[in-house]
Structure 1
């Protein structure tokens, strides 16, 4: 599968999407960046910065549901689609583009 990317973009193959159980997240170290990847119970995939923008909590350890993640340190919610905080004043999370290849591999663009 070929992907057209703007100059300077890199695509990382994170492995098969089945590696991520439904309703869970995992942290990936990609060069200098730590990225949290979530697979919702409906099977949708999302990627955000790995640490909460408020207290740097490990978001991949948080609860996921309704396309949201709840930080395990302070229970603040974030929308996985946009990174926006929900019901609090935390700065938005950085989000990243994901694709699934024809063979079911998770591809992340940085």
Structure 2
């Protein structure tokens, strides 16, 4: 798994600001993150940079289960690990997320 383990959590917004299955861009320090809320309520935070050689934003992807479907390159990315699924390959940097008192916190 490529989740950064730094431990300093920053507020990213209220849980209601993150609509199910739709990405939202959150900026923390100099990082631009794509934050997703799965239909089961799980929140995921990833670097908002597609690992495809041509790049692009990940926040525009569509979430189904715990997978992100990138409409630009038709890639499938596991949001629990950041791993791009075969036949494609690549890795997305994921960040730890916690929810406390309806507030989303992301560690960077």
Confirm or deny a common fold (TM above 0.5).
yes
Aligned residue in 2 for 1:71 = 70
RMSD across aligned C-alpha pairs, in angstroms?
Answer: 1.5
Deviation, structure 1 residue 31: 1.5
Separation in structure 1 between the aligned mates of residue 102 and residue 41 of structure 2, nearest angstrom = 12
How far the C-alpha of 1:30 sits from its partner, in A, is 1.2
For residue 40 of structure 1, what is the aligned residue in structure 2?
38
Using the size of structure 1 for normalisation, the TM-score is 0.85
Aligned length: 103
**What stretches of structure 1 move > 2 A for 4+ residues in a row?**
none
**Shift of the alpha carbon at 1:9?**
4.4
CA distance in 2, matches of 1:36, 1:84: 15
Larger radius of gyration, structure 1 or 2? 1
1:30 to 28, 31, 35: 28
CA contact (8 A) 1:76 1:88 kept: no
1-structure distance, mates of 2:25, 2:96: 15
- In 2, the alpha carbon distance for the partners of 1:59 and 1:34 equals 10
Q: Distance in 2 between matches of 1:80 and 1:46?
A: 7
Contact 2:20 2:39 in 1 (8 A): yes
CA distance in 1, matches of 2:75, 2:86: 8
What stretches of structure 2 of length at least 5 have no aligned partner?
none
Q: TM-score, normalised to structure 2's length? A: 0.87
In structure 1, the gaps of 5 or more residues are 1-5
Highest relative contact order (Cα 8 Å, sep 6+), 1 or 2? 2
